[in-house]
């Protein structure tokens, strides 16, 4: 068993509360209600009407609801929390749960800021409780196959993704700064880490907004990441490109010494040369359902999941580094950004034991190779 968190070793459905009953919360509540691995015990939202409406929507009008996570978890016997609140609430809700001895499966991004993300990684370590971030796009058979194909190409040197969409969201995304980088690109950045099996080293990024863009912030970005091992990951994206749009996953090319893989984001990937890859005996659970399976399995057998905060934090660091690079015109080194975020975190009023854990340095050292 390779674990640094306390497992919940039982085959019975894991009793959980879901926190956050907004748009994505509704999707999670439906997934939890359907799953035989978990037992939905309650829904929490600051807006209790939203929690009640969500309970009714899954046919459970009598489901306990509340506005505070740990009290409702205690009352209902829940042993884990699924945090689908807004990013600003990720840190307080997850911190409270971890300190109460409740493991957490949270929506991306890990938190609203890197210092908060580091504090959450430290809190998970300190409390021995699993905090896993759901990056739902990892749970996709085509991604698994593209990765398997890539691993047969020898040394990988180039991974690029084109992402061209034209969504008319209305609302906060039209007004926020860096809409594409902050609200979307983490999905592709995180997939690049998985596909290349490499971690980010540095990034140079340029943002821009075409004359016809309906976003206030820059809706386009071109980012070139250096990854460990020397490979480059190139993200070329736009949220205001009508016509011939790509998949929401983006259109991918991975090139290695021995060939290339192409994946259009929607259909099975292909490679040249064409190496056969093993087929799954049973179809995998995809999207958030896949994340849920991985979370429960990790708690049952103690195997570290790929979304564990200590690892997932790097996908969020890629976003923050790209935004910093676009804003300053400078290449940004991930290690330097994390060092700076750690220094900032140590000046914030986090729990003293969390600050001591951060000061011990293990959190940062475990994130990146020296
Ligand atoms: N994986 C994906 O593809 C995907 C897609 C959309 C959203 N998300 C993520 O899901 C999360 C939620 O997004 P959303 O679109 O559902 O947001 P939303 O605004 O629709 O809903 C958030 C809900 O959280 C509640 N809330 C806020 N603070 C709270 C707190 N402290 N305690 C309890 N409830 C609280 C709000 O009242 C609201 O009902 C975000 O982190 C977002 O990035 C992921």
> pLDDT by residue (tens digit) across 53-62?
999 999 999 9
CA of 86 to the centre of ligand 1 (A): 4
* Beta-strand relationship, 270-272 and 156-164: unpaired
Closest atom of ligand 1 to CA, residue 87: 41
Q: Say if residue 370's pLDDT is above 60.
A: no
Question: Which residues is 221 bridged to in the sheet?
Answer: 207, 237
pTM: 0.96
CATH architecture of 141-272: 2-Layer Sandwich (3.30)
Class of domain 14-137+288-316+343-367: alpha beta
User: Once rounded to an integer, what is the mean pLDDT over residues 350-356?
Assistant: 97
Q: Say how far apart CA 225 and CA 41 lie, in whole Å.
A: 43
Nearest protein Cα to ligand 1, atom 36 = 20
* Any ligand 1 atom below 6 A from CB of 107: yes
Instruction: Tell me what pLDDT residue 1 has.
Output: 42
Q: Which residue has the tokens 């020397």?
A: 230
In the chain, residues under CATH classification 3.40.50.720 are 14-137+288-316+343-367
Tokens of 268: 């099975």
Confidence bin at 275 (pLDDT 50/70/90): confident
> pLDDT by residue (tens digit) across 306-351?
999 999 999 999 999 999 999 999 999 999 999 999 999 999 999 9
Contacts of 194 (CB under 8 A, 6+ apart): 138, 143, 147, 306
Q: Say how far apart CA 258 and CA 102 lie, in whole Å.
A: 46
Question: Of 30, 203, 186, 16, nearest to 97 (Cα)?
Answer: 16
CA of 45 to the centre of ligand 1 (A): 10
In this structure, the chain runs to a length of 370
Q: Sign (positive/negative) of CA torsion 113, 50, 43, 24?
A: negative
> pLDDT by residue (tens digit) across 97-123?
999 999 999 999 999 999 999 999 999
CA of 365 to the centre of ligand 1 (A): 31
Question: Which residues is 34 bridged to in the sheet?
Answer: none
CB-side neighbour CA atoms (13 Å) of 136: 16
In the chain, residues under CATH classification 3.30.360.10 are 141-272
């Amino acid at each position: 068993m390779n674990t640094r968190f306390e497992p919940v070793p039982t085959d019975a459905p894991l009793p959980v509360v879901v926190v956050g009953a907004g748009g994505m919360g509704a999707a999670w509540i439906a997934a939890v209600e359907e799953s035989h691995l978990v037992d939905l015990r309650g829904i929490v939202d600051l807006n209790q009407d939203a929690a009640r409406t969500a309970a009714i929507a899954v046919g459970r009008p009598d489901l306990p609801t509340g506005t505070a996570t740990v009290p409702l978890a205690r009352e209902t016997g829940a042993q884990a929390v699924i945090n689908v609140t807004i990013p600003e609430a990720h840190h307080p809700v997850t911190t409270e749960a971890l300190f109460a001895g409740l493991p957490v499966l949270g929506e991306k991004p890990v938190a609203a800021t890197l210092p908060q993300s580091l504090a959450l990684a430290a809190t998970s370590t300190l409390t021995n409780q699993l905090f896993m971030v759901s990056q739902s796009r990892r749970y996709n058979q085509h991604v698994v196959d593209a990765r398997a194909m890539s691993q047969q190409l020898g040394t990988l040197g180039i991974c690029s993704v084109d992402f061209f969409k034209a969504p008319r969201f209305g609302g906060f995304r039209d007004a926020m700064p860096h809409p594409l980088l902050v609200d979307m690109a983490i999905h592709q950045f995180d997939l690049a880490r998985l596909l290349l099996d490499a971690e980010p080293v540095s990034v140079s990024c340029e943002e821009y907004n075409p004359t016809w863009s309906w976003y206030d912030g820059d809706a386009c970005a071109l980012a070139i990441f250096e990854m460990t091992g020397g490979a480059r990951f190139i993200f070329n994206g736009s949220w205001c490109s009508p016509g011939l749009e790509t998949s929401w996953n983006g259109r991918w090319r991975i090139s290695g010494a021995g060939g290339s893989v192409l994946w259009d984001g929607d259909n099975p990937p292909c490679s040249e040369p064409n190496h056969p890859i093993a087929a799954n005996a049973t179809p995998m659970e995809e999207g958030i359902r896949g994340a849920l399976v991985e979370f429960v399995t990790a708690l049952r057998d103690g195997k570290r999941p790929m979304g564990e905060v200590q690892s997932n934090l790097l996908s969020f660091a890629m976003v923050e580094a790209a935004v910093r690079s676009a804003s300053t015109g400078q290449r940004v080194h991930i290690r330097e950004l994390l060092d700076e975020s750690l220094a900032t975190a140590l000046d914030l009023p986090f729990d003293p034991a969390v600050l001591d854990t951060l000061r011990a340095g293990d959190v940062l050292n475990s994130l990146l190779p020296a």
